[in-house]
Amino acid sequence: MGNFRYKLAQFMIGRNGFDAFNIGLIKLILIFIVADLFIPGRLLGRLTLFMWIYIYYRAFSKNIERRRAENQWYISYVHLPLKSYLSRDRKNYCYFKCPTCKQTLRAPKGRGKIRVTCSRCHNVFEKKV
């Protein structure tokens, strides 16, 4: 078993491996597999197969700079915004955007009409929460 691990480690030297983007694609594949149970046709099955091929292409690719750029794009524009959106405490806080700079702000619920100062542009406006 140790010899196999060594050979696998030698094979993976200089290759990308599994990163956050690949894991995100695997989660999307699981959603497609469940959706395929309810949606007739072969489109989702073929799309799932294409995504598996792409995941392995990315994992075994030696173009590390390109794969890192793809992973960084995924983390910046998909993973972190989605994670922050899903982790919001909507039971206790009201989320809204500043009308000037579009910064997302929050305020405790049930305070009525409050005066809000944006932390980014320092714009002062009133908001009902």
C-alpha distances (whole Å) from 36 to each of 15, 31, 33, 50, 84 are 32, 9, 5, 15, 28
Per-residue pLDDT tens for 3-26?
Answer: 999 998 898 888 888 999 999 999
Q: What is the pTM of this model?
A: 0.64
For residues 110-122, one letter each, b for 16 or more C-beta atoms within 10 angstroms of the residue's C-beta and e for the rest, the string is: eeeeeebebeeee
Per-residue pLDDT tens for 66-125?
Answer: 999 999 999 988 888 888 777 777 788 888 899 999 898 989 888 889 999 998 999 999
Nearest to residue 118, comparing CAs of 110, 106, 109? Answer: 106
* Cα–Cα distance measured from residue 6 to residue 18, given in angstroms and rounded to the nearest whole number: 18
